[in-house]
Structure 1
Amino acid sequence: MGGWQLIFVALLGLATAQGPEKRRTGNVCNVDMDCPDNAFCRLNSYCVCKEGYVYAAINSTNKGCLKEARNGEACVQNIQCHMTMGVHSECTGGSCACAPTAHLDGERCYETALIGERCVVDQNCYLGEQGIERQAFCVRGYCTCQLQFSPRDNGTRCVRDAALGEECEDQLQCAGPGLECRGTCRCRDNWVANNHTNSCVESVKALNEPCEFDIQCDSLAGVPGVPSPGAALCLGGTCSCSYNARPVGNPPRCWHRRRPGQDCRRDEECVSEEDEPGYCLNGRCTCKTCSPDARDFSGATVSRQSMFASAVVLFAAILG
């Protein structure tokens, strides 16, 4: 057997022996009957408490082997609790419990630390009743909320960051640029929701300014209350009017082209085939050189009465 193997065996034997030694009573003996209750004679030399018992004071004058106790079990001395629950436990009111500055995690008591306070292990970081997933960890000696969580109420709890459209309790919970909390995380004024990235992007304020997404140019299409969807797009990295739209006004905004006779809502939409500015009359486009009656222009729907009259004239001509 090699030298390192001998050292390992020696250490193993020492570790094995330490358990009974911690329970040694101090009584000398030859047989088990020489030892107090719940103890036995080791090596015909000294008494040791049985497994699951610890040597402690029974009262002010006597010592003996007391049964180790777990949380809520009967006890006489703190050491009964320490053996199973750690040094942050105590015997209070005749039963084992965690000390006031500690909490129970599993079967052991750990000193309690809030978010931002010093810690040794993850179990120190206590946020009340733990769910299935631990929300706080000991990172570089301090309790920290897990990723995508942030502390609240003086470090007593961690709250998950909320994304666009999710419920929120305060502004800090809405993680990401352009978000604000209004019951749910929403885009701030002058920001718009990008459904592809589930985030907010800032609206572009004028044509020919830089952009990444079409949605950033939407505010330049029409006017508030009378939008012109799709009239402004992000083309070549800047906001521009789409192919079938044109810039109108000062500052310019994009409007879909509407020809004479087509439906309209605003004068800015109307323009003739010769690009003569028109105006919106009774919901139809016309222009200065056009008849005010928009129904006379191409794109208008021919009435059933007109079609019937034309058919009568044609039929009469054939009969004649």
Structure 2
Amino acid sequence: MDTGSCKLGTKLIVIMGLILRYAAGEDDYQRVVKTCNYDSDCVANAYCKEQSYCQCKKDFIIYAADANSFSCLEVIGGKCKVHNNCYLASGMPAYCDKSECTCPNSHHPNQNGTDCIKTVYLDGPCQTDQECVTENSRCGDVCRCRVNYIQSRKEDGCLKAADKIGDPCSENEQCTMFLGKTTCSVEGHCSCLPGYHHIPPNSKCFPDIGLGGMCEDNAECAVPSAVCSAGICSCGSGLIPDDDNTMCTGDNGKRTAEHGLIVVLLSLALPRLFEYLKSST
């Protein structure tokens, strides 16, 4: 192999090594391969770290033109004058737009601005979570909402599913995902559907079952002091239904005693009332 080929091979190895190190996400991607004692020993936009080696300043990235020529260029979001001031680790072109390094169309910067990645919306094919730009979405062959989130009706956002009655909402599906017989009220909170009720702290809506109705749980009985006994909503111990069968009232013995007392009082008062009326005519 001739000398020229060896030099070219060495340059390619160095450049590819930097790119691969970049892709691996190592912390020293800003390190410039040059020893130093002072900042003045380094290229523009770099400083001498620990009087040992040059390192690009924050928001700058190392660019290797060849094995012996390095420079520090702006990352996405950094200031620029021309396109060549901007550089990406992947080699994808970046653009200087209004004096700021910017990704090409249909791409957005990664978390540290060192590269541009494809922009993918909900239901679009993807390879990594970072490609999914909709808040609270992730990649699973396509971009979709994360666990405990639902896709909005307009399919342009991920909405938090409600965990309990009263949680905020904007669409019914946020409530029904975990809470069942619920709806998103006009006030923007999850509430029970008509014909159902909620007993705190339970995060569940129970059907409104009146006295005499079939039930499976005490919470289903919508009448105060009623219990589910033998599969039927009935008044609790010592209580009886009122005349309309819509309320539970005091026990029957107490009512009988009260009724007897009223009869006695009337029997004593009525004769005197009749005498008074007779004498006054």
TM exceeds 0.5? Answer: yes
Change over 3 Å in CA distance of 1:55–1:114 after alignment to 2: same
Contact 1:160 1:173 survives alignment (8 Å): yes
Amino acid at match of 2:170: E
Give the drift of 1:199: 1.9
SS in 2 for 1:204: coil
Give the drift of 1:288: 11
Q: 2:220 maps to which residue?
A: 216
Give the drift of 1:124: 0.9
Change over 3 Å in CA distance of 1:74–1:19 after alignment to 2: farther
SS in 2 for 1:174: helix
Change over 3 Å in CA distance of 1:15–1:255 after alignment to 2: farther
Contact 1:67 1:80 survives alignment (8 Å): no
1:207 aligns with 2:193: no
The count of aligned residue pairs is 210
Give the drift of 1:137: 0.8
Give the drift of 1:69: 3.1
Change over 3 Å in CA distance of 1:256–1:206 after alignment to 2: closer
Contact 2:211 2:232 survives alignment (8 Å): no
> 1:52 and 1:99 mapped to 2: Cα distance?
20
1:160 aligns with 2:160: yes
> 1:170 and 1:109 mapped to 2: Cα distance?
34
Listed as ranges, the matches of 1:261-272 within 5 Å are 271-272=255-256
Amino acid at match of 1:117: G
Contact 1:88 1:110 survives alignment (8 Å): no
1:20 aligns with 2:27: no
SS in 2 for 1:211: coil
> 2:181 and 2:267 mapped to 1: Cα distance?
45
Contact 1:75 1:81 survives alignment (8 Å): no
SS in 2 for 1:172: helix
Give the drift of 1:66: 6.9
Which residue of 123, 134, 137 corresponds with 1:116?
Answer: 123
Change over 3 Å in CA distance of 1:294–1:74 after alignment to 2: farther
Q: 1:31 maps to which residue?
A: none
1:185 aligns with 2:190: yes
Listed as ranges, the matches of 1:28-43 within 5 Å are none
- Give RMSD over aligned pairs: 4.1
> 2:206 and 2:89 mapped to 1: Cα distance?
59
Amino acid at match of 1:110: I
Change over 3 Å in CA distance of 1:188–1:173 after alignment to 2: same
Give the drift of 1:156: 3.4
Normalising by structure 2, what TM-score? Answer: 0.59
Change over 3 Å in CA distance of 1:244–1:21 after alignment to 2: closer
Amino acid at match of 2:137: A
Change over 3 Å in CA distance of 1:193–1:100 after alignment to 2: same
> 1:190 and 1:74 mapped to 2: Cα distance?
64
> 2:74 and 2:122 mapped to 1: Cα distance?
31
Listed as ranges, the matches of 1:229-248 within 5 Å are 229-230=224-225, 232-247=226-241
> 1:207 and 1:181 mapped to 2: Cα distance?
31
Amino acid at match of 1:159: L
Q: 1:310 maps to which residue?
A: none
Listed as ranges, the matches of 1:244-263 within 5 Å are 244-247=238-241, 252-253=245-246, 255-257=248-250
Question: Over residues 186-213 of structure 1, what are the superposed CA-to-partner deviations in whole Å (9 max), with x where a residue is unaligned?
Answer: 112211113242221122255250222x
Question: Over residues 244-272 of structure 1, what are the superposed CA-to-partner deviations in whole Å (9 max), with x where a residue is unaligned?
Answer: 1234557x445323569x7xxxxxxxx42
Change over 3 Å in CA distance of 1:17–1:171 after alignment to 2: same
Contact 1:103 1:110 survives alignment (8 Å): yes
Change over 3 Å in CA distance of 1:92–1:146 after alignment to 2: same
Give the drift of 1:123: 0.6
Structure 1: segments with no counterpart, 5+ residues: 1-13, 24-37, 39-50, 57-63, 222-228, 263-270, 274-284, 297-320
> 1:88 and 1:179 mapped to 2: Cα distance?
51
Percent identity of paired positions between Structure 1 and Structure 2: 18
Q: Which has the higher contact order (CA 8 A, sep 6+)?
A: 2
Q: 1:96 maps to which residue?
A: 101
Amino acid at match of 1:19: V
> 2:87 and 2:220 mapped to 1: Cα distance?
65
> 1:55 and 1:167 mapped to 2: Cα distance?
55
Bigger Rg, which one: 1
Give the drift of 1:121: 0.6
SS in 2 for 1:233: strand
